[in-house]
Amino acid sequence: MNISLQMLDKELPTPERAHDGDAGLDLFARHPVILEPGERRVVDTGVAVAIPPGYAGLMIPRSGLAARRGITVVNAPGLIDAGYRGELRVILLNQGAERVEIRRGDRVVQLVIVPVVTPGVEVVDELDETSRGAGGLGSSGR
């Protein structure tokens, strides 16, 4: 399977995988951005994609940015539906204690394409029983 990718900013590098077999395509910052500690900003990537029906794109944080600089994606993963054709934009958050400068052309996020199941919804009065039941957050212990 291939996806169609439109370079809205032809001076940026073409998105690519860092290594053979990697799941994510690295996307780049279209404009320089300064992120103060605790600040979030929308960052343009300079690309648009045509994701086929039955699939979606997930904008995943880059582990290196998170580990070294405290940068993550606020709504991780950011979701790109198959019908969207606009520029891919990501909401970055500086969780670190220091100011972070993102330069034009820096890798800021990974795009992963995944299959999507779109089941119908059936409203019921009760759900079936399971051994877990309604045990939620923290119910499995430490």
Q: One digit per residue, pLDDT tens: the chain, 142 residues?
A: 899 999 999 999 999 999 999 999 999 999 999 999 999 999 999 999 999 999 999 999 999 999 999 999 999 999 999 999 999 999 999 999 999 999 999 999 999 999 999 999 999 999 999 988 887 777 777 7
Residue 136 domain-assigned (yes or no): no
Question: Residue 53 belongs to what domain range?
Answer: 4-115
The answer to whether residue 125 is domain-embedded is no
- Domain of 42, CATH number, reads 2.70.40.10
C-alpha distances (whole Å) from 103 to each of 32, 35, 44, 82 are: 4, 11, 12, 29
Task: Tell whether 65 is covered by a domain.
Answer: yes
105: left (phi over 0), alpha (psi -120 to 50) or beta: left
| CB neighbour list of residue 7: distance below 8 Å, 6 or more residues apart | 14, 46, 47
What's the pLDDT at 140?
75
User: Rounded CA gap, 110 and 66, in Å?
Assistant: 13
Residue 82 CA, distance from chain mean position: 14
Q: How many domains is the chain built from?
A: 1
Structural domain includes residue 21:
yes
Judge whether 14 lies within some domain: yes
Do the domain assignments include residue 53?
yes
127, part of any domain: no
